[in-house]
Structure 1
Amino acid sequence: MAAAIITFSSNNMSALADLNKFEAATPGEFGRGSAAQFGSADLRKAVHMNENFRRANFTAADMRESDFSGSTFNGAYLEKAVAYKANFSGADLSDTLMDRMVLNEANLTNAVLVRTVLTRSDLGGAVIEGADFSDAVLDLPQKQALCKYASGTNPVTGVSTRVSLGCGNSRRNAYGTPSSPLLSAPPQKLLNRDGFCDDDTGLCEAK
Structure 2
Amino acid sequence: MLRNVKIWLYLTCPDSSFTILRSHSVGFVESQHNCLLEYMPTIIALILASILVFFPGQVMLPGGGNAYAAGGTSQYKPSLSYDNAVLNGEDFSGKNLQTAVFTTAKLDDTNFAGADLTGVVISSSTLNRTNLHGANLTQGLLDQVRFVGADLSDAVFVEAMMLRSTFTDVNIAGADFTDAILGKLQQKELCQIATGVNSKTGVATRDSLGCK
TM-score when normalising by structure 2: 0.65
Check if 1:40 corresponds to 2:84: yes
Q: Distance in 2 between matches of 1:102 and 1:115?
A: 19
Counterparts in 2 of 1:1-207, with a 5 A limit? 19=66, 25-26=75-76, 35-168=79-212
Work out whether residues 38 and 58 of structure 1, in 8 Å CA contact, stay in contact via their aligned partners in 2: yes
Structure with the greater alpha carbon radius of gyration: 1
The one-letter code matched in structure 1 to 2:145 is: M
| Residue correspondences, number | 147
Give the 3 Å change call, closer, same or farther, for CA 41–165 of structure 1 in structure 2.
same
The offset of 1:23, in angstroms, is: 8.2
C-alpha change, 1:41 and 1:152, in structure 2 (3 Å) is: same
**Identity in percent:** 31
8 Å CA contact 2:139, 2:161 repeated in 1: yes
Tell me, yes or no, if the aligned pair for 1:34 and 1:54 is still in contact at 8 Å: no
1:104/1:80 CA distance change after superposition, 3 Å: same
Answer 1 or 2: which has greater strand percent. Answer: 2
Residue 150 (structure 1) shift: 0.4
Name the CA shift for 1:18/1:117 in 2 (closer, same or farther; >3 Å).
closer
Q: Which amino acid is 2:147 matched to?
A: L
Q: 2:205 & 2:73 partners in 1: Cα distance?
A: 34
- Alpha-carbon distance in 2 for matches of 1:23, 1:154: 37
Distance 2:185 2:65 in 1: 44
CA root-mean-square deviation: 2.1
| AA of the residue aligned to 2:108 | R
| Long gaps (5+) in structure 2 | 1-62
Q: Is the 8 A contact 1:82 1:103 kept in 2?
A: yes
Check 1:141–1:17 CA distance in 2 against 1; reply closer, same or farther (3 A cut).
closer
Distance 2:132 2:187 in 1: 19
Alignment partners' CA distance in 2, 1:130 and 1:110: 4
Q: Deviations over 1:52-96 (max 9, x none)?
A: 110111111100111110001111110111111100000001100
Q: 1:19 deviation in Å?
A: 3.4
